[in-house]
Each structure stands twice: as C-alpha cells, then as structure tokens.
Structure 1
Amino acid sequence: MSIWAKITTAISMLAKGEPLAKIFSKLRTPPEKSVAFTIAVIALGAKMAKSDGSVKKEEVKVFRRIFHIPESEVAAAGKVFDLARQDVAGYDVYARRIRKMFGERHQTLLDLMESLFHISLADGEYHPKEDEFLQNVNEIFGFSGRDFLKLKARFVEVEMDPHEILGVEPYSKIKEIKRAYKDKVLECHPDKLIARGMPEEAIKLAQTKLSQINNAYEQLVENL
C-alpha cells in the first residue's frame, strides 16, 4: 500500500466533523510514523499558505513540486490540505508533532523550514504574517533567532551565496570545494537518511536541498 493510500485510510478513521489534528492519536505505532509525518508536513504547509489570509494557486503549485506529489495522488494530498485549512487547531500543533518525531534542531526540520520559505515566496511576496509564522515554527523546531535570520537571508534579503551553501570561504581552493561538496551530497544521500530512520517523505525533502548544492558547486567550479 502506498503512503497516499495509507493517508486516505487514516483520514477515513476520523469521525464526521472531527479535526485533522485528532488523527495523530490514531497513528501512534512506529510503522505509521511516515504517514503521521506526511500529514503533519502537508498540514503545516497548508497553514503556511493560509497565514497571509488566502491560499494562492502559485503556493499550491510550489507545494506540490517541493513535496513531490504525483498527479495520481493530488486528490489525497488535497483532502489533507483542505482539512488542515479548516482545522481550528493552530499550526503549532503540527509543528510540535514534527519536532517530537525528530527532536530539536534536526536536519529534517531545517529542510522543512527551507521548503516553507519556498512556499511563502511562491507569489513573489513575503508577507509579514508569513514572517511571523516562520519565526514561530523556527522557535518550535529549536532553532535560534540567529539561525532564522541566516536562513531568511538566503531567501528574502539576498541572493543565495554558493559559498554559504557549501560552507566554504570565497578564497577556498578547488580541493576544499570538492571535499565540501562531497560531504554535503553525502548528508542528503537516501541510504544515509534511511539509516537514520527518516520516513520516505522526509527523504524526498532532502532532494530539494541537493539540487541547491549541485547548482552551488557548478557555479563555484565555473568561476575558478
């Protein structure tokens, strides 16, 4: 059974009118961790898209692309998305649920923060309500204010610096750049993530970051 079929089954367990947040009490066993994570991520993305007062089609498109939702499963994901928008529970419920799954300051939480920034900028604007939303989620995930400002600068205030993405200095030699690139790629490798117990959808999140790493490496090598 696919992850999306499991999600549809999980949603069907909710009583009529029961909020989406109640679903986590029904997904307590380890095999269902991936289902719970995916639902929590979709819900958090829905709350993010709604934080400025409306959900724009550009945000939904970016959401689908980032979270790798296949055409055949759009209906299942859309149902979770809509239930989350209607849920009276605050976004902090979903953020805390995700934090509990991985622990504070986990790499997966950072990947998710990056994805939420992409969604917030899908319509070409960065709304103050979205900024407030992201700051609060950042805090719930255990990251510092400085961590948030550094991440925000990559998306909102300045163009992403390829040196910062790879964690190298502007004067770094090709050998250092290649080593840093290799280390970053290994961090995103599916086998390593699986070994750390990451669910399938969390592994997919890392692929967005891998694309940024590859682009940064290409830019630096071309300019040497």
Structure 2
Amino acid sequence: MSMFSRLFDAIGETASTAFSGVVEAVRTVFAGDPETRRKVAFSVAVIALSAKMAKADGIVAPEEVRAFQEIFAIPQDEAANVARLYNLAKQDVAGYEAYAQRVAGMCGSGNANCAMLEDVLDGLFHIAKADGLIHEKELEFIANVADIFHVDEVHFDRIMARHVHPDGIDPYAVLGLPDTTPFDEVKKRYRALAADSHPDSMRARGVPESFLSIANDRMAALNDAYAVIEKARAAA
C-alpha cells in the first residue's frame, strides 16, 4: 500500500471535510517509521501550501501547475491521492496560517530556522516564480509562512535572495554575508551552506527524491554566488 493510501485509510471520512485531519494523522500513522514520516510530512506540507499559495494572487497560472509537477514527480499509483490532497487543501475552511502552524510542528527540533522548513520555502518560491513574476501577494504569503515557521529575518532574506533579484543577483546576499567579509569567511560560509544543501543532506531530513530539483537549484545559486565573489576578489 502506498504511503498516501495508508494516510487516507487512517483518517477515513475526516479527510473529506478538513485538511487538518491529514496533518494530525501524519504524526500517528507513521510514528513507527520516522524516515517515511519525514517524507510524508514534507510532501503534505508542499502539496497543501502550494495549493493555498496558488490562489494568493487570485490566479492559478498554468506555469505554476507545471512548476508544482516539476518538483513533485508524482508516481502513477499516487496521482489520485496527491490530487485529492491538493484539492482538499484548496477547499479547507481553515486559513493557511493555521495549517502552517501545524507544518511548523512537523520539524521535530522545535528550533528556529529548521532546515526541512527551509526546503519547503524553497519549493514555494520555485512555484511562485514559475510564471516569470513573484506577485506581491505571493511574496507576502511566503514571508508570512516563514514567520510562522520561525525563520528569522536574516535567514529569510538569504533564502529570498536565491529567488527574488529584480536588480540582479547579489552574491553576498545569497550567502548571507556583508560585502566586506574576508574571503576566508566567505569560503567557510559557502562550504557550510553547500554541505547543508547537498542532496544527501536533504534526503536525510526527509526530502523525497522527487523534490531534489530544489537541491540542484539551491546548489547552482550557491556555486554561482561563490564563483562571482572569488573572481572579483582575485581581480582586486
């Protein structure tokens, strides 16, 4: 039985009326299987918040749907269940804030700037920018979710710098450093972020294989930022 089938079997008719029933069930259905629990928690978080964000600007663009499909390669045997979750999230009477609060609790550590929740935010940015523009309401949505996730302002600015750069990419902002930072410190920060963003690290915290395009995008942004700084410092 697939993981989402197990989830729906456990919650039964509850899932027809409230997405919150799905969120609570993740905690118990997979309690004895922490690896699967992390994967299901991450998947449910991205499905639900993607569905709710897609309407943040009042329009669900085809590009946003395709972007969702890009980072969520749905196995054929899960397609119906994923569609059910997505549609349920759109219809739930609960606001996204209440749902994001439940997602925040899935991290487990209870600490600020949880890496798994940062992965969720990257997924939301990926979808929001798919139509060529991150709408003001979409950015507000993601920022509010980040606040609920206890992602501090400095950390969120670094995440956002990878995706939102109307005046061109700022390599120091991508690394979360001032432009006066000594190069040895730049290299240290780059290596730490690269290690945390490696696909193996993301797998370990529950990011499913289908979402690893997020890791590739993040690594590309980090590599580009470091290369620009290294070249500029060498020429100085």
With normalisation by structure 1, the TM-score equals 0.77
Query: 2:145 corresponds to which residue?
Result: 137
Change (3 A) 1:175 1:143: closer
Q: CA deviation at 1:150?
A: 5.6
Query: 1:112 corresponds to which residue?
Result: 120
Q: CA deviation at 1:42?
A: 0.9
Helix, strand or coil at the partner of 1:24: helix
Q: Could you tell me whether the CA contact under 8 Å between 2:158 and 2:175 is conserved in 1?
A: no
Spell out, residue by residue over 1:185-220, the C-alpha distance to the aligned partner (whole angstroms, 9 max, x if none). Answer: 21123444566xx11339834443223223333444
Q: Please say which of residues 89-98 and 214-223 is displaced more in the overlay.
A: 214-223
| Separation (CA, whole Å) in 1 of partners of 2:223 and 2:74 | 24
| Separation (CA, whole Å) in 2 of partners of 1:150 and 1:212 | 11
Query: 2:84 corresponds to which residue?
Result: 79
Q: CA deviation at 1:40?
A: 2.1
Query: 1:60 corresponds to which residue?
Result: 65
Alignment of 1:60-209 (within 5 A): 60-65=65-70, 67-70=71-74, 72=76, 73-102=78-107, 103=110, 104-145=112-153, 147-148=155-156, 151-152=159-160, 154=162, 155-167=164-176, 170=179, 177-193=186-202, 198-201=205-208, 204=212, 205-209=214-218
| Separation (CA, whole Å) in 1 of partners of 2:217 and 2:84 | 24
| Separation (CA, whole Å) in 2 of partners of 1:176 and 1:128 | 34
Query: 2:27 corresponds to which residue?
Result: 28
Change (3 A) 1:188 1:151: closer
Structure 2 unaligned residues grouped into runs of 5+ = none
Q: CA deviation at 1:62?
A: 1.5
Q: Please say which of residues 117-126 and 91-100 is displaced more in the overlay.
A: 117-126
Change (3 A) 1:40 1:94: farther
**Count of residue pairs brought into register by the alignment:** 218
Q: Could you tell me whether the CA contact under 8 Å between 2:161 and 2:174 is conserved in 1?
A: no
| Separation (CA, whole Å) in 2 of partners of 1:146 and 1:182 | 19
Q: CA deviation at 1:71?
A: 6.0
| Separation (CA, whole Å) in 1 of partners of 2:183 and 2:156 | 30
Query: 2:12 corresponds to which residue?
Result: 14
Alignment-mate amino acid for residue 197 of structure 2 = C
| Separation (CA, whole Å) in 2 of partners of 1:17 and 1:75 | 14
After superposition, the CA RMSD in angstroms is 3.2
Spell out, residue by residue over 1:5-42, the C-alpha distance to the aligned partner (whole angstroms, 9 max, x if none). Answer: 21133234431733222123323233234323311221
Q: Could you tell me whether the CA contact under 8 Å between 1:19 and 1:87 is conserved in 2?
A: yes
| Separation (CA, whole Å) in 2 of partners of 1:23 and 1:191 | 28
Helix, strand or coil at the partner of 2:218: helix
Q: Could you tell me whether the CA contact under 8 Å between 2:155 and 2:176 is conserved in 1?
A: no
Change (3 A) 1:40 1:53: same
Helix, strand or coil at the partner of 1:138: helix
Q: Could you tell me whether the CA contact under 8 Å between 1:181 and 1:217 is conserved in 2?
A: yes
| Separation (CA, whole Å) in 2 of partners of 1:70 and 1:25 | 23
Query: 2:43 corresponds to which residue?
Result: 38
